[in-house]
Structures are given as C-alpha cells and as structure tokens.
Amino acid sequence: MSTLFDLTGRTALITGSVRGIGYALAEGLAAAGAAVIVNSRQQAAVDEAVGKLQAKGYAARGLAFDVSNEAAVQAAFARLDQDGVEVDILINNAGIQFRKPMVDLALSDWQRVLDTNLTSAFVVGKEAAKRMIARGRGGKIINIGSLTSEAGRATVAPYTVAKGGIKMLSRAMAAEWAQFNIQANSIGPGYILTEMNTALIENPDFNAWVKASNPAGRWGQPEEMVGTAIYLASAASSYVNGQIIYVDGGWLSVL
Ligand code: NDP
C-alpha cells in the first residue's frame, strides 16, 4: 500500500481543536498515524477532547493557550521543547466570528478578530517554523481560510480581511520557508455545520439560501475537511506550496 498519505511518526499541533473543524482535523490526522496536540483557551475542554481521542486509541496530548497572546504562544512552545515534543505539522485553525455592520464596528472588535484569526497564524507559525528550520527535516503548515479568503460578505468585514490575509500569509510563508522544505498551504472551508454557525443554522432563511446557492445543495460536515488536510500534511504534497484549496461543495465555482 502507498505510504504517501501516512503520517506515522509525525506530531501535529492543531489550534482550536476541542470542537468543530479543529477536532475533526485532530481526529483525522490521528487516524492517519500522527500524534496530535489539542489546543483551545479552556483547559477543561482540552482535557475532555484529549480524553475522547485517547479513548479511541490515538496518541493525543493537550496544550491550552490563547493563540492571540504572543507570550502565551511562546510559553507553550517552550513547554513542548522541555518535554521533547517536536511539531512537524501545524494547523492554524483557531478562529472566531463577529458579525456587525462596518459603520457600527468598534476598532477593538476589528482588532480582536484580526488578532485571533490572522496575527495568531503568524505568531504560532513563526514559533513552529523556527524549530522546523533548526531541526532541518522540513515541516507542514496548514492555515484555515474561508470562502471569505476569496469573496466578501456583509457584516463580517474583519473576518473577511483576516481570511484574505490567511491566503496571502500562506504564500509569504512558502516564499520564505520553501527552501527549508516547509510547505505552507491554506484550506478554505465552505459553510460547515459547527458551533461557530449556530445562529445561521437556526435561521430558516439562511439555511434555504445555503441549500439553494451551493451546487452541493447542503452544508458541509467538519469531517469533510480531513482528506485535504491529510494531503497537505503528508508527503503527497511535497511540491505543493502557497496554495489554497477550497473545500466548499463547489460554491466558489458558480455565480
Ligand atoms: P468553532 O467555534 O466550532 O471552534 C473554534 C475553535 O477555536 C474552538 O476550539 C475554540 O476553543 C478555539 N479558539 C477560539 N479562539 C481561540 C484562541 N484565541 N486561542 C485558542 N483557541 C481558540 O469554529 P469552527 O470549527 O467552525 O471553525 C474553525 C476554523 O474554521 C476557524 O478558523 C473558522 O474561521 C474556520 N472556518 C469555519 C467555517 C464554518 O462554516 N464553520 C467556514 C470557513 C472557515 P475555545 O473557545 O475553547 O478557546
């Protein structure tokens, strides 16, 4: 059997992975052979997610920290160094949404969304890449974008700007780190059934719009991001760099 997609022997840190897309990615990478590090801001949620993964027989450990706090990110990586844990695969997945018309949007809310969804990927990516470069055996970085990496939507300006930035951050990472055999790519999920979208899922008009405007005629499931993540985390994508792959049921392909 091909070992192209085998992640055995690799360690993956997935930020924001106690639920939703991040948890699905942690479980999916673990099933492909990786040891996974689960993260969120809440220690109890991290412990619970690690417990669920371990109960399935996967190698999992937890690391609670806030991706928007540089000192906390640095302390988390120092802890991994102390424990001899080397991150081969980083998925910058942690994110928040905040909906408000731009004319009513406070600068502090704009900044919070940018810090959590974009600057965090630079800060966590920098700590991971420094170590990948020093070890000299390459690495994989996957940044989670969105349909808004490509297209605008009303009331989500900072999220749209952050996710557009994620697409370009992957390219900037590729430009600087490809020489160290690090591949940095993005995944752009369509509308996925997670807690982030609770209000939209419960809104019948929005639900009808999703089903009518997406050629797949439905929302996506978090688990449907896993195949692309394994591809971008594995040797199968060793010459793929700076790309964004939309996993959206074909949404961005139609008008
Ligand atoms: P969820 O709200 O279900 O999960 C978000 C995760 O991020 C949680 O584990 C949360 O844990 C964690 N998190 C939030 N802020 C921080 C922080 N500052 N530091 C560390 N962890 C944090 O969201 P989704 O699973 O829906 O989204 C995951 C990613 O996918 C996000 O980047 C999102 O923008 C993106 N995405 C989602 C889409 C969707 O339709 N759902 C579509 C396109 C992209 P905690 O709150 O405990 O810290």
Question: Could you read off the pLDDT of 110-166 as tens digits, one per residue?
Answer: 999 999 999 999 999 999 999 999 999 999 999 999 999 999 999 999 999 999 999
Could you tell me the distance, in angstroms and rounded to a whole number, from the CA of residue 59 to the centre of ligand 1? Answer: 22
Q: What is the mean pLDDT of the chain?
A: 98
Containing H/E element for 163? helix 157-177
Distances (CA, A) of 174 to 76, 168, 223: 24, 10, 26
Across 105-122, b (16+ Cβ under 10 Å) vs e yields beeeebeebbbbbbbbbb
132-136 own/partner pairs: CB under 8 Å, 24+ apart: 132/87, 132/88, 132/177, 132/180, 132/182, 133/177, 133/180, 133/182, 135/86, 136/180
- Phi/psi for 15 (5° steps) reads -75, 150
pLDDT digits (tens, 9 = 90+) for 40-88: 999 999 999 999 999 999 999 999 999 999 999 999 999 999 999 999 9
Would you state the pLDDT for residue 1? Answer: 83
Residues 6+ apart with CB under 8 A from 104: none
User: For residue range 9-51, what is the model confidence (pLDDT) as tens digits?
Assistant: 999 999 999 999 999 999 999 999 999 999 999 999 999 999 9
At 218 the pLDDT is: 97
* Cβ neighbours of residue 196 closer than 8 Å, sequence gap 6 or more: 20, 95, 96, 97
> What single DSSP character describes residue 234?
S
Among candidate residues 23, 159, 231, 246, the one labeled active-site is 159
- pTM greater than the 0.95 cutoff: yes
Task: Name beta bridge partners: 244.
Answer: 186
Q: Mention every residue, 6+ apart, whose C-beta is less than 8 A from residue 184.
A: 125, 140, 141, 142, 143, 169, 170, 171, 173, 174, 177, 241, 242
Q: Domain spanning 2-247: which CATH class is it, in words?
A: alpha beta
Q: What is the mean pLDDT of residues 192-206?
A: 94
d(CA 61, CA 86): 13
**What token pair was written down for 236?**
């199968």
Phi-psi region of 96 (alpha: psi -120 to 50; beta: other; left: phi over 0): beta
Ligand 1 atom closest to residue 117's alpha carbon, by position in its atom list: 32
Q: Report residues whose beta carbon is within 6 angstroms of any ligand 1 atom.
A: 15-22, 39-42, 45, 66-68, 93-96, 116, 144, 146, 189, 191-192, 194-197
Of 41, 218, 246, the residue with max ligand 1 atoms within 8 A of its CB, to mutate for a pocket test, comes to 41
Euclidean distance between CA atoms 164 and 167, whole angstroms: 5
Catalytic annotation present for 159:
yes
- Ligand 1 centroid – CA 214 distance (Å): 22
Residue 83 has a pLDDT of 98
Distance in Å, CA 199 to ligand 1 centroid: 15
Residue 89 is which amino acid? I
- For residue 55, the model assigns a pLDDT of 98
- The Cα–Cα gap between 159 and 151 comes to 11
